[in-house]
Structure 1
Amino acid sequence: MTACAIESAADGGALRRAVFTIAANGSYAARLAGVGDALFPERWTLDGPEPYAVPLPADQPEEADTGLLPMEDGRVLIHRRVDGRHVFSLLYPTGPRTGELPVGAVECERLALLPPAPGGTDAYALAVGELSTHVWLVAGGTFGPEHVAEVEGRCSGGVWLDRTGRMLALDRESDGVKKAVAVDLERGGEATPLLQITESSNDRLLLADVDSGLLLIRSDAAGHDRLGWGVLGSMLPVRFPECLAPADCAVTPFAVQPGQLLTPENCAVGMRIDGAAGSWVGVWRPSGRRLHQIAAPEGWLAGAGLWTREGVLQLPYATASVPCGVARVEAPDDPLPEVLITEPAQVECAGGEPSGPLDTPVVCKPVPLQQSPLTGRGVRG
């Protein structure tokens, strides 16, 4: 039930800044609350009968680019820039004050937290250098931050591809073109091509669902950016539904319904829709023919939310009268499609044949989608 609201940064600045981040199991969330220069971390508890927020202020206000990551034990990892170093601590409530446990620092120019890793006990960060990108374990290590992988090229993004926190998808830039690659953290950052629609297109991975293998993709292979979808391990092509390209609007996926084992066409996807009138919510299924557009609750933390297995979209919001609230929206029903995808999502073991669904405990390499045409064959988007 992982979801993470991300705000892009300009080139040369931080890689990404988490506005409202939800833990991998959906139990907690964290954000920077407050107004103006009076910013402080705030932890939300989401797995109880009603959501509630706990402020975690330090002795001084936080900077606007401070990173936060909720851990599944209720602590919040905070990432600060101090004297040219990236410093990490774990915050936790302790009576009227905030407890803080320093976990170490990393010295580099640019570093940003990756989305919450499966398991909820480890936290990773990405540092981009001139020729390569480094992955750091910044919480969960034995003796502070640990360097775990180096990936050739300049990388951005970050999507987890398995339940163990071993396989990480990154968007790697080469000769001005970005392609998603699957990175094996237990092999020092060994990278395998994941997306390549055309040789010259920018093919980026936005979201992945481990249960079904559903991938949400953004590509400019058609000459402009389009939102599409594919299935990890499938021989079917990437599809780019027209309904995901409404006029004068930007559509960004932020959460995928979990628990749809081997049935990616049934997964409901939450979308943030941005237009001249502001931001609102979209709900779409690969098997459907339309993007359902829904008014967002007042104070929605735009681009944040998570699904239950039963198909209820939970949208966090904050207003003056309700400082910590969650609105619940049931996924609209779509008419049955003419064609369903029945091919199971598979993975490919290193040096072996495709085998088993994504729940298989053996750690494997994802199958690249290879040169996928822009139009579907046998399945309508």
Structure 2
Amino acid sequence: MTACAIEAPADGDAAADPESGTLAITADGMYGARLAGTGEALFAERWTLGGPEPYAVPLPLGQPEEREAGVLPLTDGRVLIRRRVAERHTFSLLYPTGPATGELPLGAVTADDLVLLPPCPDGARAFALAPGPVSTGVWMVAGGPAGPELLATVPGHCSGGAWLDRAGRMLALDRGMPGGGPVKAVAVDLARGGEVTPLLQITESSNDRLLLADADSGLVLVRSDAPGRGDERLGWGVLGSLRPVRFPESLRLPDAVVTPFAVQPGQVLTPESCAVAVRIDGAGGSWAGVWRPADRRLHQLAPPRGWLAGAGVWDRAGVLQLPYADGEVACGVARAGCEETFGRKEDAAPGGHRAAGSATDSTQTEPAGGELSGAPRGPVMRKPVPLQQAPLTGRGARG
């Protein structure tokens, strides 16, 4: 576990409040950004994660930021901030200039709602969704030649957002059409004027959302109610595979919600070996877990105290890094390999789930032969559509 130094704000304000916001991390794991501060005295904060000793740089301006402001890090070290001013959403780039903070205004977008998408894989651009009841705008809000640019208008109400390649061209969105009907994941080609093609359909009537995608291995994590058990399940598949989406019992906890947030990179064409970091939310709080398709078990981990829940990144050596900030350490990064814990083995994760660090400690193990779920227990349903029918096969979606 490595704690990192923090540079004090120029005005001597208190250190970051870990509850102010989670940390958005660039695709290469070099930088992070979040809203930090105490009470209403909020400011953007950049974390440098890729150096020999991680550290944080506060980026305060003349007045505090609103709590609804959004921030994204870029790989050149600048931080994009989105602010709402009446019906407009303004964008600026923040960067340190000695003891002060520099600000470069980029322009504004007029929209009722606007949501920043996850950091672009190229690290140089930033994108946002402006969802509406009939259509959704996809905006490039940083990295363009002349301020925010509308790249695509997608029919339907879109949410979510996952990048499918390393070039920042193919974007997966969860789309609901006007008039009702199931939510389906679609692929939006930003290099073809926002061309939209179906991406995931397990059954015609199921809600199928894509949560996370890995360009190296083709592994995708989805959430769907297709298994037919009255709730949405977490499943996995592979773009271009001949096999259907699978819904492991090991990813189903009775009193908690499991959400993936990071996939181990560098596992080219070996999706079943990829380690996936997940956030587990239960009545007792939030904690972490590690899962691999080939293992068919979920290792639950006691994260560091003050973990910015849902934030973290893998390195290519298979080490998971979780950022944290507590009352004693204002900026820290805990590191552990796939089979280690961030705390002692006897520590229990919130909600009574044991923090497991090895196969023998795992609390959720898939029964033998139980990985596939092409047919659910109970009434017979339509056979799931394999992921190889997604239109990305052969179009360079894996980067």
TM-score range, shorter chain: 0.7 to 0.9
Structure number with greater Rg is 2
Spell out the pairing of 1:263-282 with structure 2 (5 A cutoff). 263-282=270-289
Q: Which moved more, 1:128-137 or 1:40-49?
A: 128-137
Provide the identity percentage: 66
2: distance between equivalents of 1:229 and 1:145?
Answer: 35
Aligned equivalent of 1:84, options 87, 90, 95: 87
How much has 1:176 moved relative to structure 2? 3.9
In the alignment, structure 1 residue 228 sits paired with structure 2 residue 235: yes
Q: CA RMSD in A?
A: 2.3
1: distance between equivalents of 2:359 and 2:195?
Answer: 41
TM-score between the two structures when normalised by the length of structure 1: 0.84
How much has 1:18 moved relative to structure 2? 7.1
How much has 1:186 moved relative to structure 2? 1.6
Partner in structure 2 of residue 154 of structure 1: 157
How much has 1:276 moved relative to structure 2? 2.2
Q: What per-residue deviation string (whole Å, max 9, x for no partner) do you get for residues 213-237 of structure 1? A: 0000000112311000000111100
Partner in structure 2 of residue 6 of structure 1: none
Classify 1:162/1:262 alpha carbon distance in 2 versus 1 (closer, same or farther; 3 Å): same
How much has 1:51 moved relative to structure 2? 1.2
Q: Which moved more, 1:139-148 or 1:174-183?
A: 174-183
Q: What per-residue deviation string (whole Å, max 9, x for no partner) do you get for residues 137-163 of structure 1? A: 110111111111111111000000011
Spell out the pairing of 1:311-322 with structure 2 (5 A cutoff). 311-322=318-329
In the alignment, structure 1 residue 75 sits paired with structure 2 residue 81: no
SS of residue in 2 equivalent to 1:291: strand
Spell out the pairing of 1:355-366 with structure 2 (5 A cutoff). 355=394, 359=398
- Report runs of 4+ in structure 1 exceeding 6 Å deviation: 337-341, 345-350
How much has 1:357 moved relative to structure 2? 7.2
How much has 1:188 moved relative to structure 2? 1.8
How much has 1:105 moved relative to structure 2? 0.6
8 Å CA contact 1:211–1:358 kept in 2: the answer is no
In the alignment, structure 1 residue 286 sits paired with structure 2 residue 293: yes
2: distance between equivalents of 1:324 and 1:30?
Answer: 12
Partner in structure 1 of residue 220 of structure 2: 215
In the alignment, structure 1 residue 305 sits paired with structure 2 residue 305: no
1: distance between equivalents of 2:286 and 2:144?
Answer: 39
How much has 1:35 moved relative to structure 2? 1.9
Partner in structure 2 of residue 240 of structure 1: 247
2: distance between equivalents of 1:124 and 1:276?
Answer: 34
2: distance between equivalents of 1:25 and 1:313?
Answer: 13
In the alignment, structure 1 residue 116 sits paired with structure 2 residue 115: no
Given residue 81 of structure 1, which amino acid in structure 2 is its aligned partner? R
Spell out the pairing of 1:53-202 with structure 2 (5 A cutoff). 53-174=56-177, 175-202=180-207
Q: What per-residue deviation string (whole Å, max 9, x for no partner) do you get for residues 112-160 of structure 1? A: 1111111111111111123111111110111111111111111000000
Aligned equivalent of 1:206, options 207, 211, 218: 211
Q: What per-residue deviation string (whole Å, max 9, x for no partner) do you get for residues 198-257 of structure 1? A: 111111000000000000000011231100000011110000000100121111111100
Classify 1:245/1:275 alpha carbon distance in 2 versus 1 (closer, same or farther; 3 Å): same
1: distance between equivalents of 2:194 and 2:398?
Answer: 22
Classify 1:171/1:18 alpha carbon distance in 2 versus 1 (closer, same or farther; 3 Å): farther
How much has 1:355 moved relative to structure 2? 4.0
Given residue 85 of structure 2, which amino acid in structure 1 is its aligned partner? V
Classify 1:347/1:330 alpha carbon distance in 2 versus 1 (closer, same or farther; 3 Å): farther
2: distance between equivalents of 1:346 and 1:146?
Answer: 33
How much has 1:72 moved relative to structure 2? 0.3
Aligned equivalent of 1:42, options 41, 45, 49: 45
Q: What per-residue deviation string (whole Å, max 9, x for no partner) do you get for residues 51-107 of structure 1? A: 110000111111111010000000000000013211000000011111000011111
